[in-house]
Amino acid sequence: MSQLLDIPVDEPDWTIEQSAELYRVDSWGAPYFFINPQGRVAASTGAQAASPIDVVAVVEEARRRGVDFPALIRFQDVLRAQVRRLNRAFHAAIEAAGYENVYRGVYPIKVNQLHEVVDEILDAGREFGLGLECGSKAELIAALPHLQDDETLLICNGVKDHTMLGLMIAAQRLGKNVIPVVEKPKEFVDLKAQSWSKGVVPNLGVRIRLGAAGSGRWADSSGPHSKFGLSVAELVQLVDELELGGLTDRLKLLHCHLGSQIADIQALKQAGREAAQIYASLVKRGVGLRYLDVGGGLGVNYDKAGAEEEIDAGVNYSMQEYANAVVVGIKEVCDGQSVPVPTIITESGRAITAHHSVLIVPVLGTQTREALGTETVLPADAHESTRGLFERARLTTHPADPNEALEAFHEAKRRHDETRTLFALGYLSLQERAIADRAFWSLCRVLLGILEAADLEPPPAEQGELEGLLTDQILCDFSVFQSMLDHWAIGQPFPIMPIDRLDQRPAQRGLLVDLTCDSDGKVTHYVSARPDKSFLPVRPFDSVGPECIGFFLMGAYEDIMGDAHNLFGRVSEIHVYADDDEEENFWIEKIIPGTAVQEMLAQVQYFPNDLHRRMSEIVRAKIQDGVVRPTVGMGILEQYMACLQQSTYCDPGTFGQDAS
């Protein structure tokens, strides 16, 4: 007996717990982000004795203060909390293993160089002796004045020119703990030329290319063919030279880096042991090493995939397991070689910064597959394919049998194809083609509802096809190239979800598209518990108020890699601290406006004076020709010049308004 199903498929009951599961909030958000009982995203920022902050309240307050969106909310307390967590994890590992030396973290500023971010991390890390790492001349120049005392480490990686080496030597002369890490044999030659001849022999470090390779997307940063570091043969040659000069006590630090976001703890364990063996061998040879720096790589769970899933942007270990693996691995090797254990350095950047910033992106509009309206009348001479689609879509009840739904879908596709062919050949009017399209989409929606309700395992291929056909485009006020370059470049997923009304059923499938005139300007992979990650399940966006979507874990790398595609600039920033004495548990310390049009244009050599001169020449000529009256012409010129001060993004309040 075939069951009957009412349309539309109506399941009003939906809970915040279901939303949390759907968007996998626990897997990427813990311990900082969750959904509060009001169905909004909240941030528990790790500040002591502070209640969670309602993210929507921050957005509303920022709007009241005139912030242009999109905007990045920085939860500064999260940075502090991550610094504490990392240091405490290493202290616990050291204590548990009976490791007879200390841990010193350094923050690699390449991960996020924003001054406030670096300052906050340094301040939070003061009690743990946290230092900095730089990888270029500009980073060195930025970092050097921030060293808090003469013990604070500044590790200098990256390719170093003469000027950069000279500055590091000068800093050492000031008594600063700045360590140039030799990455290329040529740097050692230059270092000698600049210092030995002048009787100043600096402390130095050396980066080695390990045999062990990393795991995950950035695995190429390590292994024997990596572009960074010295081979073992080059290392031995460097040590020979130091020995000849009686200078082996100057080599203080051994460095390796497996690549960012190490996915598998085994890779880290293997590399740590290899580095420790090299360390122990050199110490036994009489080299004065005291630091073993295992680089960055401590990963973050962006999207922890199930075993059978293709994309895995997660890690298979916790922060504590990472610390234990580093400490125990080094200790076992050094104990085995009867060598004192080194001061351990890590250069964790992603793990410290990723969680602290959330990009808030306004929704500008949704492009849906149009449904058949109740008022639509089928023309009397409609083709039989249009009629078939129309009549089936107009049924008020549909058989709930999934096999019948599949059969109906196959037939609907045939009819729909036929209407398109007939239209292309000139046998169908534009109006009839529109009716056929609407009827087809309406029917697809019903059939998908039936298949979803049947919950077939595995779901039929047609279900995926229907999901794809019915995915709506959601136009968002941002640029993928400016705000999430890693998504475009290497397909990295970022957790994305609406920030409010999460107690409503996300019955719609969305594909987020950006403002750029580039078909790649879209988000193609979403973090969700659904097997199909090519769409974001969302509740239908209505026009009740400004709608926003939150992009999470944006704090590492994305902030600084942005590319100015279509001249979209940096987004505004809101720096937030938790505080229970404030009305809404938070206060905004600083607002940094996004890049204005004028600043973006200056980067590509368009300057306001020149633009004004050219535009006014055009306007004056038109006034002279009588095309516009002088007041109108001058008004247009003012209108043009005022645009230069504006944000490069859309003003959601005026988007789609009549410009006249």
Nearer to ligand PLP, 486 or 500 (CB): 486
The encoded tokens of residue 424 equal: 């292309």
What's the CA gap between 550 and 536, in Å, rounded? 12
Q: x/- site string to ligand PLP, residues 183 to 222, per CB under 6 A?
A: --------------------------------------x-
Which residues share a beta bridge with 363? Answer: 476
Comparison of 300 and 578: residue with beta carbon closer to ligand PLP: 300
Beta partners for 133? 108, 155
Rounded distance between C-alpha atoms, residue 146 and residue 240, angstroms = 35
Q: Which part of the chain contacts ligand PLP (CB under 6 A), choosing from 46-54, 257-265, 273-281, 330-338?
A: 257-265
Residue 294 or 389 having the CB closest to ligand PLP: 294
Nearest to 468 by CA among 535, 520, 393, 416: 535
Residue (of 427, 421, 513) closest to 476 by Cα position:
513
Radius of gyration in angstroms for the set of CA atoms belonging to the chain, rounded to a whole number: 30
Closest CB to ligand PLP: residue number:
296
Cα gap 204→201, rounded to integer Å: 9
Q: Which window, 13-21, 254-262, 512-520, 578-586, contacts ligand PLP (CB under 6 A)?
A: 254-262
Q: What is the torsional sign of CA 169, 167, 143, 556?
A: negative
Q: Binding of ligand PLP at residue 19 (CB under 6 A)?
A: no
Beta-sheet pairing, 586-592 with 572-578:
antiparallel
Count CB atoms within 10 A of the CB of residue 227. 10
Q: How far is the CB of 333 from ligand PLP (least distance, A)?
A: 21
- Among 39, 46, 70, 296, indicate the residue that binds ligand PLP (CB under 6 A): 296
Site for ligand PLP in 118-147 (CB under 6 A): 133
Residue 173, SS3 per DSSP: helix
Shortest Å, Cβ 436 to ligand PLP: 53
Taking the complex as a whole, the smallest distance from the CB of residue 128 to ligand PLP amounts, in Å, to: 16
Q: Which two tokens stand for residue 187?
A: 């740097």
Contact region for ligand PLP (CB under 6 A) — 64-72, 113-121, 253-261, 651-659? 253-261
Considering the complex, what minimum distance in angstroms separates the CB of residue 352 from ligand PLP?
A: 8
Closest separation between CB of residue 109 and ligand PLP, Å? 10
Confirm or reject binding of residue 349 to ligand PLP (CB under 6 A): yes
Asked if 350 interacts with ligand PLP (CB under 6 A), we say yes
Per CB under 6 A, 348 contacts ligand PLP: yes
Q: How far is the CB of 274 from ligand PLP (least distance, A)?
A: 17
H or E element that contains 550: strand 548-551
Stretch that binds ligand PLP, among 73-81, 168-176, 265-273, 344-352 (CB under 6 A): 344-352
Assign 322 to helix, strand or coil: helix
Residue 523 to residues 7, 134, 354: CA-CA distances in angstroms?
A: 31, 31, 19
Q: Other CB atoms closer than 10 Å to residue 543's CB: what's the count? A: 9
Nearer to ligand PLP, 298 or 363 (CB): 298
Could you tell me if 513 and 474 are in contact, meaning their C-beta atoms sit under 8 angstroms apart? yes
For position 157 contacting ligand PLP by CB under 6 A, the verdict is: yes
Which one among 70, 105, 108, 229 touches ligand PLP, defined by CB under 6 A?
Answer: 108
- The least CB distance from residue 332 to ligand PLP, in Å, is 24
User: What's the closest the beta carbon of residue 485 comes to ligand PLP, in angstroms?
Assistant: 15
How many residues of this chain bind ligand PLP (CB under 6 A)? 17
Determine, following the binding rule CB under 6 A, whether residue 226 of this chain makes contact with ligand PLP: no
Is residue 261 involved in binding ligand PLP (CB under 6 A)? yes
Q: In whole angstroms, how far apart are CA 204 and each of 141, 231, 256, 406, 555?
A: 18, 17, 14, 69, 31
Residue 51: is it exposed, middle or buried by C-beta count within 10 angstroms (0-12/13-18/19+)?
A: middle
- Please calculate the CA angle 24-30-34 and round it to the nearest 5 degrees: 70
Using the rule CB under 6 A, give the single segment among 95-103, 145-153, 289-297, 436-444 that binds ligand PLP. 289-297
Beta carbon nearer to ligand PLP, 351 or 515: 351
Judged by CB under 6 A, which stretch of 34-42, 295-303, 514-522, 570-578 contacts ligand PLP? 295-303
Find the binder of ligand PLP among 178, 298, 405, 554 (CB under 6 A).
298
Tell me the CA end-to-end span of the chain in Å, nearest whole number: 61
Comparison of 79 and 436: residue with beta carbon closer to ligand PLP: 79
Neighbour-count burial of 131, counting CB atoms closer than 10 A to its CB (0-12 exposed, 13-18 middle, 19+ buried): buried
Instruction: Give the residue, chosen from 29, 297, 493, 594, that forms a contact with ligand PLP under the rule CB under 6 A.
Output: 297
By the criterion CB under 6 A, which residues form the site for ligand PLP?
A: 108, 111, 133, 157, 221, 257, 260-261, 295-298, 347-351
